Amino acid sequence: MRYATFSLPGDAVPRLGVVRADTIVDVSGLDASAPRSLLELIQGGPAGWRRMAERASDLSRARGHAATDIRWHAPIPRPTKNVFCLGRNYADHVKEAARARGQEFKLPTHPVFFTKAPTTVIGPYDDIVWDERVTQQVDWEAELGVIMGIGGRNIARGDAMSHVFGYTVINDVSARDLQSAHVQFFKGKSLDTFCPMGPVVVTADEYGDPQQKAVKLRVNGLEKQNGSTADMIFRIDQTIEVLSLGCTLEPGDIISTGTPEGVGMGRTPQEWLKVGDVMETEVEGIGVLRNRIVKAS
């Protein structure tokens, strides 16, 4: 199943949809018991997911909305907690970041976790607002996002993947100067609009092996990143295992799994986004985010 959150012209209320080719079918049209949001569906548990999948034939017969006639929202427009993120999870990215900061190259021996505030999350085609009074070094990071379906604490690695609901695309937009000034990731990662997400969530049963997917990013049509989730230092099952140690993960929690090499900070000379730039963030099997940098009013 491929789920999206959308609204219609003249009705700004987000609703849950199932994507079929170039159309999106409103799940609320099924009956009064249908989930009103993706988060509600996820929180309903595996039995609810199966019921929805079983009704796929009903949805295929329903009249859909053209993808061009709707507004796409982030699949979970307002997460219930911060987005969990991994830093330094691809060896070549660790190398380029160390070089840019004048540090010794050393692979992490433990997952590096940080978070992005829920207010960073925007839709797959929304604008990213750059306030040049706050930062002068806006950078990109294409990432595979993991959506938790079943919560838990101290989740064993062998069980971890059964806790995953599905996968999405995330751009972990970053203010590098704020990262340096604050000597940690949170502030530089948590500016408003700095987490485009979507366009869909592909359920785990349909997505296939998440550790064999291409991750790409283009700026104004020029390729900047082209990596593979096969190159993660800490795979998704290990990430869930370690993150959940003594820390309860809940249905609908989002984990952004790190970025491959090719970020602006790691280039010579360094490259920073500017007003008018358009980023296209792509993860194989899910789709493409397309976000423009605009100046804060």
- Residues 6 or more apart in contact with residue 235 via CB below 8 angstroms: 211
Q: Tell me the per-residue pLDDT of 147-160, one tens digit each, with 9 for 90 and over.
A: 999 999 999 999 99
Judge if pTM exceeds 0.95: yes
Q: pLDDT by residue (tens digit) across 190-231?
A: 999 999 999 999 999 999 999 999 999 999 999 999 999 999
Q: Which helix (H) or strand (E) holds 164?
A: strand 164-171
Q: Assign residue 270 a region: left if phi > 0, alpha if psi is -120 to 50, beta otherwise?
A: beta
What is the pLDDT at residue 56? 78
CA dist 187 and 225 (Å) reads 24
State how far the Cα of 110 lies from the Cα of 155, in Å rounded to an integer: 17
Convert the pLDDT of each residue in 220-272 to its tens digit.
999 999 999 999 999 999 999 999 999 999 999 999 999 999 999 999 999 99
**In the structure encoding, which two tokens stand for residue 1, read together?**
């199943």
Mean of pLDDT values over 16-26: 93
Reported as a pLDDT band with limits 50, 70 and 90, residue 28 is confident
For the residues 135-142, what does the mean pLDDT come to?
A: 98
Cβ 263 vs Cβ 141: under 8 Å: yes
* pLDDT number for residue 62: 75
